[in-house]
Amino acid sequence: MAAAIRAMAGALVFWSVAAAAQMSMTLVPEGKSRIAQPLVIVAPEYPVRALREKKHVEVRVDGKVTAEGRFVASAYAAGEGEESFAQAIRAVLALWRFIPDVEGCKAKDADAILYVWFDMKDDRPSISATLEKPQAPGVKPAGDAAPNRSIRPKSMPAIDYPTNLWFREIEGSVIALVKTNAAGGVDDASVIAFMPNDGFNEAVASALRQAKFDLLDPALQAEGGACIKMDVNFCLKGGGRGWANPRCRQGGRVRGGALEWY
């Protein structure tokens, strides 16, 4: 019995050093963000004909990114004889996930245009994608999240790594919105995107609802509070065998609105 207790204690110590939640935060100016960004991309199957011909193909997909982070396509456009490339995207698009647009510190649907390019680089198939937002003439896109110089956490409960996901060695990433009041207390906290498992969501939302922030900019206090985007990455020492979060590795974080993979 004593040996079992010692073994359990050892396992808990190992857990504490092997698993961690890494957090960063940015201010969403005026409660708005720019066009939704790609988060999880599942590469479509590269058409065999293109492997032989080594040609460049562009496919345009019109549609919208929903508040739940899915892309709903309304039209596919590819060149003559290149319909197989559009079909390859259609087959996997339901598996893609995006960080949705934000307005009023709430996720919202947003019209979007998805461009996907098929190429051969160094005799290897290469697929890249980028997301754009249709704009009326003369309309400037909404601003992106700003640096967090005007906000800082005052108190933040520990975010526990879900036990079942830790045992399965699954890492994860959660993006949440926090709406504060003028005093820095949290009025609302909601998850707007996650990968790959929603089991991390409640651990993040529960901790953020109890958090408090210092609003260093008097303008934020005058506006009645701030909208803060929180990025929380659940990381295992050495990486997860069940699913490894690329944001946990140095150089693995995807930056900007474009992704490329092989």
| Secondary structure of the chain as H, E, C letters | CHHHHHHHHHHHHHHHHHEEEEEEEEECHHHECCCCEEEECCCCCCCHHHHHHCCCEEEEEEEEECCCCCEEEEEEECCCCCHHHHHHHHHHHHHCEEECEEECCEEECEEEEEEEEEEEECCEEEEEEEEECCCCCCCCCCCCCECCCCEEEEECCCCCCCHHHHHCCECEEEEEEEEECCCCEEEEEEEEEEECCHHHHHHHHHHHHCCEEEECCHHHHHCCCCEEEEEEEEEECCCCCCECCHHHCCCCCCCCCEEEEC
- Per-residue confidence (pLDDT) for residue 50, from 0 to 100: 65
Query: How would you write the pLDDT of the chain (262 residues) with one tens digit per residue?
Result: 444 434 433 333 333 335 778 888 888 877 666 667 788 888 888 887 766 776 788 999 999 999 988 999 999 999 888 899 999 999 999 989 888 988 889 999 999 999 998 888 777 888 888 888 776 554 455 555 555 568 889 998 989 899 999 989 999 889 999 999 999 999 999 999 888 888 999 999 999 999 999 999 898 888 899 999 999 999 998 777 888 887 887 654 443 333 333 2
- Per-residue confidence (pLDDT) for residue 247, from 0 to 100: 80
What the chain holds in terms of domains, given with CATH numbers, is: 19-32+144-261 (3.30.2420.10), 37-132 (3.30.1150.10)
- Per-residue confidence (pLDDT) for residue 257, from 0 to 100: 34
- Per-residue confidence (pLDDT) for residue 73, from 0 to 100: 97
